[in-house]
Chains A and B, each alone.
Chain A
Amino acid sequence: MHKISKTIMHVWISAVSLGGFVFSWVLLAHSPKPSTLSALVAPTPQIVQASVPAQPGLEPIPSLNDYLQPGSSQTQTQRKSTITVQPLLRTRGS
């Protein structure tokens, strides 16, 4: 009787471990992927400030370029898609 309950215990522990592993694997496989857009988020403001000359009295304002990661293969594609949704009106130096 003691031997039988030990065997049942072993089987039960093995089944629970295997089931937990499979459950976790399925859960991870179906969890949301990290957003591809997160790769396009700009460097931190501190990095932006450090990479440009200081302009005492004024503060840096984010531009579209700050949200594109230089060197990324997606940069140009993303930039183009950004511009296509932009308005037809433009301001430039007259």
Chain B
Amino acid sequence: MEFNEFTAMNTLIQSAAEGESRPLQVGFEGVRRFFAESEARFSRFCEDSELSRLNRAAGTWFQASPELFEVVQTALELHRLTGGLFDPSILNALRRAGYDRSMDEIKKLSALPVVSSEKWERPQFDKTCLDPRRGAICLPKGVQIDLGGIAKGWTASKAAVLLSTYSPACTVSAGGDMMCIGLPQGQPSWEVALEDPRDEQQVLAVLKIAPGALATTSITRRRWLQGSQPRHHVIDPRRGQPVESDWLSMSVFAPTATQAEAFAKALLMLSAAEIQAFMKPFHQLRFLAVDCNGKLWGTPQSKEIIDVPEYAH
């Protein structure tokens, strides 16, 4: 197994693949280039990015690239599937919470200024129109979208498919949102360490992942102070504020990385009882929630994706 790491889209990108070294290096370089292209296309911090141009064109038709069209179309489907809990049209709320510049810049500041709190009027992302024939998108007037998480998942998925042309077993992870293709030789699953959201040096569990996707969303990463108030990047679209969650992190295993990302965000906004009802139709998904004590919670099916240490038997 060969490993490759670099930073893109403001996060750590990790690739692992089995196969001959030389072709794999070509594959890893392809992954790096693909992430660079995605970063340029989907960044909301770059005025020239295609996403920024789409946001400026809200209220009119925008001729999109096939890549942007696919991500927005997927986001719209997942928005509907999660009953609106996954909602990329929270960009104005993110800016209001202070996340109006890259995390690297935020980290340099001790605290961000408080912005006057106007009443939150929820944007109507579900009214977005798509024209598949022309590849055009029309965001409703005033709707501004942030594709941060879903774009990372989408890019990781596509990059894994790209890498799989050089390797029968490979995985690409963007900050822990990962897509696994095939299985390592002689292994029944991919092993992934689940970090403790309270201390990134510690590991809570080893997850056993079949080919598919895994995503984790946490409210302990990407935090900052706005005035004296602690803020984080996961916005509850119903209130337009950082989510007040029972959970520190939520991990979801799903067939695709975009699904895993969207459902991880959605579940983070729900209580334990709500999660149980919400998950009933989604038999293929598995999740693990981490509470404020670092305890793991799930359903009996959740145990399918976790390894129990041998000495516990």
A: residues with CB less than 8 A from B are 37, 40-42, 48, 52-53, 55-65, 67, 79, 82-83, 86-94
Report A33 CB to chain B, min CB distance, Å.
15
Central interface residue in A79, A88, A89, by most chain B CB within 10 Å: A89
Q: Which B residues fall within an 8 A CB radius of A?
A: 3, 11, 14, 16, 149, 152, 171, 173-178, 190-195, 197, 200, 202-207, 214-222, 246, 249, 251, 261, 272-273, 275-277, 288-289, 291, 293-300, 302-303, 306, 308-309, 311-312
Going nearest first, the 7 A-B pairs with the smallest beta carbon separation are A93-B218, A57-B276, A94-B175, A55-B272, A91-B176, A87-B191, A61-B296
Task: Please tell me which one of the listed residues A53, A59, A86, A92 contacts residue B176 in the complex, with CB atoms under 8 A apart.
Answer: A92
Listed A/B pairs (9) with beta-carbon separation below 8 Å: A57-B272, A57-B275, A57-B276, A58-B289, A64-B309, A89-B178, A91-B173, A92-B221, A94-B261
Given contact pairs A64-B203, A65-B204, A92-B176, A58 touches B217 in the complex (Cβ within 8 A)? no
Which residue in B273, B275, B291, B309 is a CB contact (below 8 Å) of A53? Answer: B291
Chain B residues closer than 8 Å to A40, beta-carbon distance: 311
Among residues of A, the one whose C-beta sits closest to the C-beta of B152 is A94
CA of A58 to CA of B16 in the docked complex: distance in angstroms? 33
B272 CB → nearest A CB, Å: 4
A59/B298 in contact, CB under 8 A = yes
Which residue of B204, B207, B217 is within 8 Å of A94 (Cβ)? Answer: B217
Q: Are A93 and B206 in contact (CB under 8 A)?
A: no
In contact, A93 and B174 (Cβ under 8 angstroms): no
Bound state CA distance, A86 and B312, in angstroms?
Answer: 16
Would A90 and B176 count as touching, CB distance under 8 A?
yes
Q: A91-B251, A93-B175 are in contact. List 8 more A-B contacts (CB 8 A).
A: A55-B272, A58-B276, A58-B289, A58-B299, A62-B296, A83-B193, A89-B14, A94-B216
How far is A81 from B1 in the complex, measured between Cα atoms in Å? 22
Number of A-B contacts (CB under 8 A): 146
Query: Are A83 and B312 in contact, with the CB atoms below 8 A?
Result: no
Interchain CB contact (< 8 A) of A58 among B152, B261, B298, B311 = B298
- Known contacts A58-B289, A61-B288, A67-B311; A87/B218 CB under 8 A: no
| B residues near A63, Cβ cutoff 8 Å | 204-205, 294-296
A83 to chain B, nearest CB (A): 5
In whole angstroms, how far apart are the Cα atoms of A40 and B311 in the complex?
8
Across-interface contacts of A92 in B (CB, < 8 A): 175-176, 195, 197, 200, 216, 218, 221, 249
Given A56-B272, A57-B272: A64 and B293 interface contact (C-beta under 8 Å): no
Q: Closest CB of chain B to A94's CB: distance in Å?
A: 4
Instruction: Chain B residues near A52: list those with CB within 8 A.
Output: 291, 293, 295
Known: A58-B297, A92-B218. A82 touches B309 (CB 8 A): yes
CB neighbours (8 Å) of A65 from chain B are 204, 294
Give CA–CA (A56, B149) in the complex, Å: 29
Inter-subunit contact B273/A93 (CB<8 Å): no
Q: B residues within 8 A CB of A93?
A: 175-176, 197, 216-222, 249
Name B149's closest neighbour in chain A (CB-CB).
A94
A76 to chain B minimum Cβ distance, whole angstroms, is: 11
Question: Chain B residues near A86 (CB, 8 Å)?
Answer: 191, 193, 203, 206
The complex places the Cα of A40 from the Cα of B251 at a distance, in Å, of 27
Q: Which residue of A lies closest to B305 (CB)?
A: A61
Q: Nearest-CB distance from A44 to chain B (Å)?
A: 12
Q: Which of B11, B214, B303 is the one whose CB lies under 8 Å from A91?
A: B214
Check B308–A89 contact: CB distance below 8 A: no
Complex alpha-carbon distance, A89 and B219, angstroms: 21
Q: Which of chain A's residues have a CB closer than 8 A to the CB of B273? A: 56-57
Return chain B residues, CB-CB under 8 Å to A88: 3, 14, 16
Contacts of A64 in B (CB 8 A): 203-206, 309
